[in-house]
Structures are given as C-alpha cells and as structure tokens.
Structure 1
Amino acid sequence: MATVAVAPEEGCGTVTQRDEPDPRRWQALAVCLIAGFITLLDVSIVNVALPSIREGLGASESEIQWVLSGYALTFGLALVPAGRIGDARGRRMMFMTGLALFTGASALCGAAQTSQWLVLARLLQGIAGGILTPQVSALIQQMFSGRERGRAFGMFGTVIGISTAVGPLLGGLIIKVFGAEEGWRWVFYVNLPIGILAFALAWRLLPGPDHAHRACLRELDPIGVLLLGSGVVSLLLPLVEERQWKGPAKWLLVPVAAAFFGVFVLWEIRQGRHGRKPVVDLALFKVRSYTLGLLVMLFYFAGFTSIFFVFTLFFQSGLGYSALLAGVAITPFALASAVGASIGGRLVNRFGHTLVTGGLVLVAVGLGGAILAVYEVPGQAAGWALVAPLVCAGLGSGMVISPNQTLTLAEVPPVQGGAAGGVLQTGQRIGSAMGIAAVGAVFFSQLAAVHGQDWAGPLRHGLVVSVGFVLAAFVVAFLDLRKERTPVPAEAGRGGTRVTR
C-alpha cells in the first residue's frame, strides 16, 4: 500500500501516517502529468519559433542559442537539489513552488521586449522546470505501488516522449494561428491557463510527505549542492554552446567538471561518515538496476533528442517546409511513442528489461529505415517516405522510456525518490546536450562540405551518430538483461514495484 501522510508540510519533525492508498491518487497523477508535460514541452516547442523570435526582437545568433541552451542549462542545474529538498521538505510544496515559478516565467517570456529579457526569463523558466520535474517521479513512487506504479510510470513515459516529439507541431500550429510576428509570444502564453489550473488542482489533490522524519533546511548539504551544481554547469556549458563557442578552449571545462564531481563524491562520503544526510545517497549506485538504468537513459536521450534537432533543420531549412508542416512530419513518431508507452506501462512487470532491449532494437531499425528512406526518396516527398520508419522508431521509444524509468526506480526507497529521480533526469539532460552537440557537429560539418546544397546527406550522417548512441544504450540494457533474473520484493523500500529482472 502507498503511505499517505496527513500532517502539515511546514517545520521540522514528524508526520502522522496511515498505511492505505490515496483514493485520489489517479486524479493527482493527472495533475502531475499535465505540469510535467508543459515543462518538458518547452524543451522542444521553442525550436520552430526561433525565426520569429529573431525577427521580432532583433536577436543575435548567440542570443537565439541562449534562448534554447539557457533553459536546458538551468533545468539540469536545479534537478538534483530540488529532488532532495522535495524528499526532505515535501514534494507538494516543491511541486507547487516550481509550477508557480514556471507559470510566472512563461508570462515574462511572452512579454519580453528585448532579447536579453527573453534570455533571462528562459533561465528562470529552466530553474522552475528543474524544480518541478523530479517531484513528478517522486510523487508517483509515493502514491503508487506494485502494478499500479508500472502503469503510472507508463503514463509518465508517454508524457516524456510526446512532449518532446509533439513540440514542433504545437509550436508550428500556434505560430500559424497567431501569425509569424507575434505567434512566438503565444508559444509561452499557452502555459499560463494550464499552469494556473494545475496549481489549483495540485493544492487540493497532491499528498503530503510520506516519511516520519522531515529534515530542516540546515540538513540539506549546501556544500554538496554547490559542488554538484558546479560540476553539472561545467559539463553542460560546452555541450549546449558547442556551435556558438568557437575554438577548443570550451572543452577544458570537461576535466573541470570531472574534478568537481570527484570532490562532490568525496564530500558526500564524508557526509555519510559523519551521520549527515547527503544530497545524493551514493549507495543508490550500488543498486545495479539503478546504475545501469541511468546509463541507458543517458545514451538513449543522446540519440533520442538529437533526432528532432536534425529533422527540424532538414524539413524547414532543407525541404522548405513551414513550421507547421515540419511539425506534422514528425508527428508519426509522437503518436507511435504514445502507443508504445501505453504498451510498455502494461507489460513492464511481465517482461522487465526484455521490453527495453526490444524497444531499443525497434528504434535502431526505425532510424536505419529513415536513413534509407532519405537516400531513396529525395526532395519534398521524403516526408511521406519517413512515416513508416518514424512510426517504428516511435513505437520502440515508447517501450524504452517508461519501462526503463519504472525498472530504474523499482528498488529505490520512495523516501529517496526525489533525489533519485533528479539524478535520472539530470542524466537525460546531459545525454540530450551530448547528443545534440555530437550530432550537430557531424551534421553541420557535412553541410559545410557540400556548401548547403544537399541536406539529405548531412541528415543521414547525423542519424548514423544517433543510431550509435541508441546502440550504446542497447549494450548497457543487454548487460542488465543478462543478469540472473531474480524477483524484486513487492514492497521494496516500502512500496517498491514487483518486477522480475
């Protein structure tokens, strides 16, 4: 049974519990998924609005890049600390804080009068998304157990896949309705009514904390937060700025990031030895399913996110599609991903990591088919030729994201769900940045070699790199699949999911 807490969320101390499922858990899940959808949607929806933003605000290429990368950077920075604070101080409080901040930042983005204003508002919006997102996976662990948790994570996986894939379509549709000059503002304004409604419902439906002791703010390891944040920024910055920051000097930040992470690990070990609560319990990484699942997500998101990056460029700049038509062309992936996630959520308890490895095979096959389709069908008809490969890849993607998330968090105690989910989401953000940097470097170098005369060739080379990342995820998933299959206790960590691994 999921534990329901009935004490108020303010102050340190204890909470009273009753050991029964929350009767409003499915309504609460709907609120979580709506809020999670809009925060993840803003990772991709802005792509198709960039030409309108550049024209409307007179933004430079560097500022346009920061509209995209600034959101990803601060999003990744906030994930783990926000997850830890949610575990310690209450996920409902952190969820509502992040949602209110995200809604306000969206209003600031839409009202921007200068490009600098928009960049700063996007940085704030990214922080808000990073505060909110880890609370979703933690609340799912708190509210659900057993097969219900698999279904809930299946729905969350659907949201992750669809929000990323459908962003270009929604962005193109909004710009079509409101016009190229002001349409980009409504890409942000659309978050306002959704955010306000979700905030009101969250206040009423989300549960309080599920653990007996609630840490004071002084117990939240500020030095650990600073070290981890410095490492994340040092690693993400050269990745998200790969095209704009010329020269090799930016890659010197990678060893700097490694040093920060090394000091962070030593500090967290010291925290544990002194009986203090660390930001991330390093014992999590002794759990094989968690560590391998995290690596699967990192490599998969490197391949998964980069797909939409190169396809959006190919359709709009290469084939001359409008923003709306480019979004429509990518929609088969989004629809198939929703179907795959629904299947994955229902079957994950039965098939475990076999489902994930099978999904990765489908993604690789679908991307291979896309490479062949673009080669065989040149010109604007390529959009039609790509439908079947994108359906195959999308179906596989849905069978990867939500089942892998369920399996990765299955043996994590719910009391650590926010921090564990934050680390998992951080891995996704790092993977996304890594994939876009690598695929973008190959794509643009090939485009420069042909002087922009042939977009299909660079697309094929970029997709080969994406397939490489997907295959790396497959290798990691296969290692987990080969592990001796043993049952996870039905109530692992008080409410764990029963999955045969």
Structure 2
Amino acid sequence: MTELSSADAPATVNKWAAVAVLLLANFMNLIDITIVNVAMPSMQSELSAAPNLIEWIVAGYTFSFALLLLPAGRMGDLFGRRRLFMAGIVIFTLASLVCGLSPGIGTLVGARVVQGMGAAIMTPQTLALVPALFAPAQRGAAFGLFALTAGLASVTGPILGGLLINADILGLTWRPIFLVNIPVGILAFIGALALVPRGEGNRKLGIDTVGIVLAGLAMLAVLVPLVEAPSIGWRSWMWPMVVAAPFLGWGFVRWQAFQEKRKLPQLLPLRLARSDRFLKGGALNAALFSAVPSYFFTIALYLQSGFGLSPLQSGLTTTPFPVGVLVASFVTGWFGSRWVRWRVLGGGLLLGAGFAGQAWAVWHMGAQISWLQMAPWFLIGGFGMGNTVSPLYQLALSAAEADDTGSAAGAVQAIRQIGIAFGVAIMGGIFFAALGGAQHGDHAAYRIAMLSAIGYACAVAAVLVITALLTRMTLPDD
C-alpha cells in the first residue's frame, strides 16, 4: 500500500492542522541549527573544550544530517512517511535531552551527531507529506509556509539563544537551548499521531545498499572540505576528497542506471534525475539557499563584531526579513500552481533588490546601525525569497511519482544542504578575505567586507532571474 493520496486526504484529516505539526517539527530542527552558534562561547568555557572539538558540535550535526537526508527520504517511501517522521522526532528529542545533560564535550558531540540523524529522518518527510495532503493547486500555500519557517528560524534562533543564555535558568547557562526541544518534540509527536495521515509505504521498492554507500561517500567528499576549511584552514588531506567527489558522484549515477536496467531498487530513481523540472527546481533551490543563510551569517558578523550589537539586537535588526516571507506566504498561496516561471523571476528580482538595497544601506551607514535604513530592504528581500522558494519546491517535487516523493524530497534537501555549505564557504571566505586583519569595531573594514559578501548574494539572485527568463518552467497541470 502506498501513502494516502491528496485526493483522499481532505476527507480524512485536517490538512492545515497536519501541516502545522510538520512545520513545528521543521522549525524545531531549523532553529536548533542557528541557536547553537550563539551558545558556542559559553559551551567552550564551561566544558573547557579545545577549539577543534567545539567546532564538531556544529560539524558533527551537519555531517550526519546531510548524509542521511537522501536515504531517509527513500525509507519514507518504503516504510511510510508518518512512521519515519515520528521516529525522527523521537530520536531528535531524546538526543536533545542528552545534549542538555552532557557532562563533557565528548558526550555533547556524540549527542549532536545523533540529533542530526533524527533531524535527517524527519525532515524529508515534512516536504514529502505535502503532496499526500493537498491537491496541486493548494501546494503553493503549504510550501510557502515552509519558506516562512526557514526565515523565522534564521532570525529567531539568535534571539532565543541570547535570551535563554542571558536568563541562565536554574544556573544551566547554555543547556536550555537543547532542553527546550523536549516539550516541543513531545507536542510534535502527539500532533503527528493524531493529525498526520497514516500510510504504509511501498516495501516492494526495496533498499539500494550500494547506492546509499556511494551517495554517502560523495556527500562526505564534498562537505568535509567545505565545512572544515573555513575553521581549520585548507589541509593537504582535503585534496584527495575534492578529486574523489566527482568520481564518486559519477559512480553513484552509473550504479543507479545499472539498477534501473536490472529493475532493482534505486536510492534516487533515474527518472527523477532525467527530469528537467526536478533538476532545475533542485539546482535553483540550492543556489538560493547558498545565498540566504550565508547572508545572515555574514550580516551577524557585521552587526555584532563590526558594530558591537548583541545577538539579541542583531536578530531584531533582521526581523523584517521573515515578516516579508510571511507576507509572501499568503501571496504564493493565492497563486497556487500557476505562473511558476514568473514567480521565480519576480521573486529573484525582489531578492536581488533587497540585497542591492542592503549594500546601499551598508555603504551609507555611519558609526551607528540604522534600523530604518536596513529594514525596508530586509522586508523586500524576505518577500522575494518567500515568492521564490514555493515554486521551486513545487517544480522539483512535481517530477516525482507517488512512490518517489520521499526520495525526491530527500534529494532536494540534500542538494540544498550542499548549497548552504558552498554558500557559507564562499561568502564567508569573501567576507574574511576582504576583512583581512581588521580588529572588532573597525567600521570601515567591516563595511567593505559586508559589501564584498553581498556581491555573491546579488550574483545568485541574478542566476535565478536569468534562468527564469531563458528557460521554461511549468508544472504538469499548467
């Protein structure tokens, strides 16, 4: 038996209540990524951890999360997406408890790896369940809410992290940033049990063990240099990984072709890889996410190190961005499945205008940060992102057949994760190269560094616009 179809879902479940549960779990994962960065200094001080071990609090999570996205998506197709979603919530929540109670850095890093595994198991199911809940014309609104969740998490994480650490609840310093996941995880689990549609999956699809290994090795070969090089510098052992990455990727594709020819299980069905809609939606989604999270990473450095803002003040400064995404979620819901190409074009133009406006605001910034100068451009950029993410998700997932939705969702998010890693490495590299050896509080140096980094973000927006102008983007119902 396959998952519940969108035609059946309205009669059996409250669709929007089910989506609220998916968004709650997705938000719990996304905010955990951003909130940890704020707590790193407190963790290092309390645990007396070496810098190379502290970095693994983030790196361990990143690697386990990225490596399991694709196989976890396929497991949802096989064993049922609600079942995998709930299993992911349980693993993530229990790992959060261990993180919050960790007596030392080793336990914390290990728990973060397991936490990343739980996040990877539940995350592809959140997107894959949308087609099971909604008819094509209604999916735009749901995907728009996922964009809103991402925008809110990027801003809320630093704010909530700063508040929790400053409050020092019961003398626990940084530990509440993990413990707060426990009631949220319990609520999400109960909500999934009551509201998310049941489905048994299709176990006839089978498990592609060799494909899982090849895909994992290829992801590692790409991500390890990208994630580690900014922290520890480029090392000689990274070169073999860079050289091996394309060969491993080629080997994975050839293996999938071999499996397809023999009519055996495939981790990523090649009918997806051959689809123009899937490739275009996935690649542009990765490009978009290579710019936006990286932009928030660099703007936080600009505001906090360059101008002395606290994490809370920095987060509040960027709040108009998720407000723009929120407004866009209503607009993109009205569009439904119509005019995908023009929505990507318009969203790319607005996103580019937001980045360009930020460059103007940064260039004219004096000795104090002016919220009024920056706020309109954050709002415009957020509105542009909100109008771009939804059609790109729709485009990519429209290529998947019912039994392949989890695999497609996992692949799109794995590609997106690579895009984020590329963006942080490239945009962060540009920022620090332009900054040179400048000291904290050197307004002029941080201004030049921020302007240099924004150049990459503007280039990504241009790619979105040019691709939408020169290529065809239509959904099956168009």
- The Cα of 1:21 is off from its aligned counterpart by 4.0
| 1:271-310 equivalences in 2 (<5 Å) | 271-310=259-298
Three-state SS of the structure 1 residue aligned to 2:67 is helix
Structure 1 counterpart of 2:145: 155
Kindly provide the amino acid, as one letter, of the partner of residue 411 in structure 1. A
Q: Does 1:229 align with 2:229?
A: no
- Distance change >3 Å, CA 18–CA 321, structure 1 → 2: closer
Structure 2 counterpart of 1:317: 305
- The Cα of 1:410 is off from its aligned counterpart by 2.1
Equivalent position to 1:394, from 382, 385, 388: 382
Structure 1 counterpart of 2:354: 366
In 2, the alpha carbon distance for the partners of 1:281 and 1:180 equals 51
Query: In the comparison of the two structures, how many residue pairs are matched?
Result: 472
In 2, the alpha carbon distance for the partners of 1:402 and 1:18 equals 23
- The Cα of 1:158 is off from its aligned counterpart by 1.8
Equivalent position to 1:116, from 102, 106, 109: 106
In 2, the alpha carbon distance for the partners of 1:404 and 1:318 equals 35
Residues 362, 451 of structure 2: 8 Å contact kept? yes
Three-state SS of the structure 1 residue aligned to 2:199 is coil
Deviations for 1:105-156, whole angstroms, at most 9, x for unmatched residues?
1111111222222222111111111110000111111121132222222222
In 2, the alpha carbon distance for the partners of 1:309 and 1:355 equals 26
Three-state SS of the structure 1 residue aligned to 2:22 is helix
In 2, the alpha carbon distance for the partners of 1:117 and 1:316 equals 30
Three-state SS of the structure 2 residue aligned to 1:311 is helix
Structure 2 counterpart of 1:170: 160
In 1, the alpha carbon distance for the partners of 2:110 and 2:22 equals 26
Q: Does 1:243 align with 2:230?
A: yes
Structure 1 counterpart of 2:465: 474
- The Cα of 1:368 is off from its aligned counterpart by 1.1
Deviations for 1:359-397, whole angstroms, at most 9, x for unmatched residues?
111111111111111111123324442111111111111
- Distance change >3 Å, CA 110–CA 324, structure 1 → 2: same
Structure 2 counterpart of 1:4: 4
- Distance change >3 Å, CA 116–CA 163, structure 1 → 2: same
Residues 271, 277 of structure 1: 8 Å contact kept? yes
Greater alpha carbon shift after TM alignment, 471-480 vs 457-466 = 471-480
Kindly provide the amino acid, as one letter, of the partner of residue 123 in structure 1. V
Kindly provide the amino acid, as one letter, of the partner of residue 59 in structure 1. A
- The Cα of 1:103 is off from its aligned counterpart by 0.3
Kindly provide the amino acid, as one letter, of the partner of residue 104 in structure 1. L
Structure 2 counterpart of 1:9: none
Equivalent position to 1:201, from 170, 177, 191: 191
Residues 332, 394 of structure 1: 8 Å contact kept? yes
User: What TM-score, normalized by structure 2, do the two folds share?
Assistant: 0.93
In 2, the alpha carbon distance for the partners of 1:414 and 1:50 equals 42
In 1, the alpha carbon distance for the partners of 2:399 and 2:254 equals 24
Equivalent position to 2:131, from 141, 157, 173: 141
- Distance change >3 Å, CA 180–CA 46, structure 1 → 2: farther
Residues 9, 133 of structure 2: 8 Å contact kept? no
Structure 2 counterpart of 1:68: 58
Three-state SS of the structure 1 residue aligned to 2:264 is coil
Kindly provide the amino acid, as one letter, of the partner of residue 4 in structure 1. L
Kindly provide the amino acid, as one letter, of the partner of residue 335 in structure 1. V
- Distance change >3 Å, CA 53–CA 60, structure 1 → 2: same
- Distance change >3 Å, CA 61–CA 436, structure 1 → 2: same
- The Cα of 1:74 is off from its aligned counterpart by 1.3
In 1, the alpha carbon distance for the partners of 2:386 and 2:360 equals 23
- The Cα of 1:348 is off from its aligned counterpart by 4.1
In 1, the alpha carbon distance for the partners of 2:144 and 2:221 equals 33
| 1:318-357 equivalences in 2 (<5 Å) | 318-357=306-345
User: What TM-score, normalized by structure 1, do the two folds share?
Assistant: 0.89
Greater alpha carbon shift after TM alignment, 388-397 vs 157-166 = 157-166
Equivalent position to 1:53, from 38, 43, 65: 43
Kindly provide the amino acid, as one letter, of the partner of residue 461 in structure 2. V
- The Cα of 1:220 is off from its aligned counterpart by 0.6
In 2, the alpha carbon distance for the partners of 1:477 and 1:348 equals 18
Deviations for 1:284-312, whole angstroms, at most 9, x for unmatched residues?
12221111111101111111110111011
Three-state SS of the structure 2 residue aligned to 1:379 is coil
In 1, the alpha carbon distance for the partners of 2:475 and 2:281 equals 17
Q: Which runs of 5+ in 2 are unaligned?
A: none
Equivalent position to 1:261, from 246, 249, 263: 249
- Distance change >3 Å, CA 65–CA 385, structure 1 → 2: farther
Deviations for 1:224-260, whole angstroms, at most 9, x for unmatched residues?
1011011111101111112223235324312211111
Residues 71, 126 of structure 1: 8 Å contact kept? yes
Quote the RMSD (CA, aligned, Å). 2.2
Residues 374, 382 of structure 1: 8 Å contact kept? no
Deviations for 1:60-112, whole angstroms, at most 9, x for unmatched residues?
32223222222222111110100001001111111111000000111111112
In 1, the alpha carbon distance for the partners of 2:343 and 2:379 equals 17
In 1, the alpha carbon distance for the partners of 2:364 and 2:460 equals 24
Identity %: 33
Kindly provide the amino acid, as one letter, of the partner of residue 4 in structure 2. V
Deviations for 1:3-30, whole angstroms, at most 9, x for unmatched residues?
738xxxxxxxxxxx97874333322221
